[in-house]
Structure 1
Amino acid sequence: MTRKILTGISSTAYEHPFDRKALASLQNMPGVSPLLKKVNEYGIDRLLRLQSLGSEIRVTPRNFPQLYQPFLEACQVLDIATVPELYLFRGTGHIKTYIIGVEKTIVRINLDGMEWLNYDELLFIFGYEIARIKSQHIIYHQMSIVMPALKMWLSSTTLGIGGLVAGGVELALYNWVMMAKFTADRAGLLTCQDVNVATTALMKLAGLPEEYLTTDVIEDFLIQSREFAANSFDSLDQVTKILSYSESSLSWLVMRTGELLKWVDSGEYEHLIQAENLKPPETEEKEGWNFLTSW
């Protein structure tokens, strides 16, 4: 399959409105800026990078071409000029991927991801992670990774992390992390450019190996996803929703699939794929946020 190279595409072109709203709420909360400063002061960016360099296997075209080639193609399709480093870490019993490094990005995938996903599904997964680079929001993802440790480290300082968390910073952060997945899923689909591939990749993320992905299983999963997406959860308290999203053992893959199908059904995905010019107007360009200087 020949995939279209999305030259000049901006993350705003496929950004989910829930993502945009949740990020605005997070950025406007008191305490977020000093918390980001602490992340910078403690050298979290460098620490996370050193952990990967010292513990995981760097993927190259020679040692793991079955990973590197779809990774390289995903960067090309989403128009990433500088290809980040890719690392392979040990299996966990289910597929896991991460992206770290504000200044120098590293994408990480575990052994289960390499063994469970075919080439096209890897395109979806890598596109999902590369979306973090396009949006320039890696710093917030890193903050969510280290939030439990930050709370412990800062509990006795004058920053008053306990008060910040009680005020909703932590909940707002986890809410945004969940909403950002909707945008990243869209980027994954734009990368693999096949909704059937995106569906099977999401099902494997939900824990189903290849041998269980029969036609009946896939069709029932799609029915379930559409039914879930049709529900209205407006009656639930906002904090209840966010607490659900912060539960790390819940994948919400059915909900994510439902949101992705709604985007496809709306025609917006096809419009982007068929668009001749993906570059946003010059008036919409904005200077990128600098991790070291923009405080």
Structure 2
Amino acid sequence: MTTKKTLIGLQADRFRHPLDLEATNALKQLPGIDIAIRSLLGSVAEQFFYLNNIASSVLVSEKQLPHLYKLLIEAAQILDLEPPQLYVQQNPTPNAYTFAMRGERPFVVLHTSLIEMLTPEEIQAVIAHELGHLKCEHGVYLTMANVLVLAANLLPAWGTVLAQSLQDRMLQWVRCAEFSCDRAALLASQDPKVVMSVLMKLAGGSPTLAPLLNLDAFIEQAQAYDSIGKDSLGEMLQAAQTAQLSHPVPVIRAREIARWATSAEYQSIMDKQQSKEGKKLGWSNW
């Protein structure tokens, strides 16, 4: 088994997707957006979600599900990041998410249904994806996006709190942010097929079907989806399909990872690194 490289001194801007940077800058240009989000959510909401998570999930540690804890620690070390708390929650919907409002007590949650259909390497890629949100300091906006996705039933008056246009902007931002975090997953797994396999299983997997899925066929499917968008009608249909989603469709994410894994940018990051057993390299030029 090849020893993974530890990305000492890794900066988020080295792997941040340009769409993420563009969307984040667009949000920051909205007058008072940060203040509005913090006022709406505030410490009370942050405390609520934290306590609710503690009450309904299992905290992973050296004593509790240590195999998952080991995956967390290794991924955090590779990405040069302080590991957050990791929880496992019983839920039939395959999902994982991160909460980090003010940088205090950030935590990652993995649903049991997701864990059940992934290999250990794929679970670590999911964890690294969530760590990517922390590395890129997506905190405030990410919390708002998670409220949209996870807590709509707790905020029935959502539509009257913020305009529909802001909701659309938040969903657009989180879709772009996901591309950066997929890159973080690749940096941790150091194998694009691992990340693409996760995306394939999210698209059509289950504990029984997951081992039967064909990754090469899924990659061909992603290429077919690309070809549809080459004309104006295809572009319009693809845009309409994703407009209200919190994540880009899996085939697009797989395509982006395949492209970035062969890019000079990715290779430059990996070439400047060391294996865990090797000598530390300087980052003075970063």
Q: Aligned-pair distance for 1:42? A: 5.7
Corresponding position of 1:207: 204
Residue-by-residue CA offset, 1:146-172 (whole Å, 9 max, x unaligned): 2445571683xxxxx3xx514x21111
Is 1:117–2:118 an aligned residue pair? yes
- Aligned AA (2:28): Q
After TM superposition, the score normalised by the length of structure 2 is: 0.83
Is 1:188–2:185 an aligned residue pair? yes
Q: CA contact under 8 A between 1:26 and 1:169: conserved in structure 2?
A: no
How far apart in 2 are the matches of 1:73 and 1:220?
31
Q: CA contact under 8 A between 2:100 and 2:134: conserved in structure 1?
A: no
* Secondary structure of residue in 2 paired with 1:246: coil
Q: Aligned-pair distance for 1:114? A: 2.4
Corresponding position of 1:292: none
Q: Aligned-pair distance for 1:144? A: 1.5
Tell me: CA distance 1:151–1:144, structure 2 relative to 1, closer, same or farther (3 Å).
Answer: farther
Corresponding position of 1:179: 176
Q: Aligned-pair distance for 1:228? A: 2.9
Q: Aligned-pair distance for 1:145? A: 2.1
How far apart in 2 are the matches of 1:243 and 1:34?
31
Corresponding position of 1:101: 100
How far apart in 2 are the matches of 1:64 and 1:216?
27
* Secondary structure of residue in 1 paired with 2:262: helix
How far apart in 1 are the matches of 2:175 and 2:45?
22
* Secondary structure of residue in 1 paired with 2:259: helix
The CA RMSD over aligned residues, in Å, is 2.8
- Aligned AA (1:90): Q
Q: Aligned-pair distance for 1:217? A: 2.3
How far apart in 1 are the matches of 2:175 and 2:128?
17
Q: Aligned-pair distance for 1:278? A: 7.7
Q: Aligned-pair distance for 1:11? A: 1.0
Q: CA contact under 8 A between 1:272 and 1:278: conserved in structure 2?
A: no
Q: How does 1:1-295 map to 2 (within 5 A)?
A: 1-41=2-42, 43-80=44-81, 82-92=82-92, 94-102=93-101, 103-147=104-148, 148=152, 152=157, 155=160, 161=161, 164-166=162-164, 168-209=165-206, 212=209, 217-229=214-226, 231-232=229-230, 236=235, 241=239, 244-247=242-245, 252-276=249-273, 279=283
Residue-by-residue CA offset, 1:14-34 (whole Å, 9 max, x unaligned): 111111111111121235234
Single out whichever of 271-280 and 188-197 deviates more from structure 2: 271-280
Q: Aligned-pair distance for 1:117? A: 1.6
Tell me: CA distance 1:32–1:243, structure 2 relative to 1, closer, same or farther (3 Å).
Answer: farther
Q: CA contact under 8 A between 1:225 and 1:254: conserved in structure 2?
A: yes
Q: CA contact under 8 A between 2:116 and 2:207: conserved in structure 1?
A: no
After TM superposition, the score normalised by the length of structure 1 is: 0.81
Residue-by-residue CA offset, 1:73-131 (whole Å, 9 max, x unaligned): 11111111x32111110131x42111113311111101122222222111211110000
* Secondary structure of residue in 1 paired with 2:34: helix
Tell me: CA distance 1:216–1:143, structure 2 relative to 1, closer, same or farther (3 Å).
Answer: closer
Q: CA contact under 8 A between 1:48 and 1:101: conserved in structure 2?
A: no
Tell me: CA distance 1:139–1:180, structure 2 relative to 1, closer, same or farther (3 Å).
Answer: same
- Aligned AA (1:198): V
Q: CA contact under 8 A between 1:95 and 1:204: conserved in structure 2?
A: no
Tell me: CA distance 1:89–1:215, structure 2 relative to 1, closer, same or farther (3 Å).
Answer: closer
Residue-by-residue CA offset, 1:49-80 (whole Å, 9 max, x unaligned): 11111111111122212211111111111111
Structure 1's unaligned 5+ residue stretches are 156-160, 283-295
Q: What fraction of aligned residue pairs are identical, expressed as a percent?
A: 25
* Secondary structure of residue in 2 paired with 1:91: coil
| Aligned length in residues | 270
How far apart in 2 are the matches of 1:2 and 1:185?
21
Q: CA contact under 8 A between 1:144 and 1:174: conserved in structure 2?
A: yes
Structure 2's unaligned 5+ residue stretches are 274-280
* Secondary structure of residue in 1 paired with 2:157: helix
Residue-by-residue CA offset, 1:194-236 (whole Å, 9 max, x unaligned): 1121121221222324654578822111112133345447775
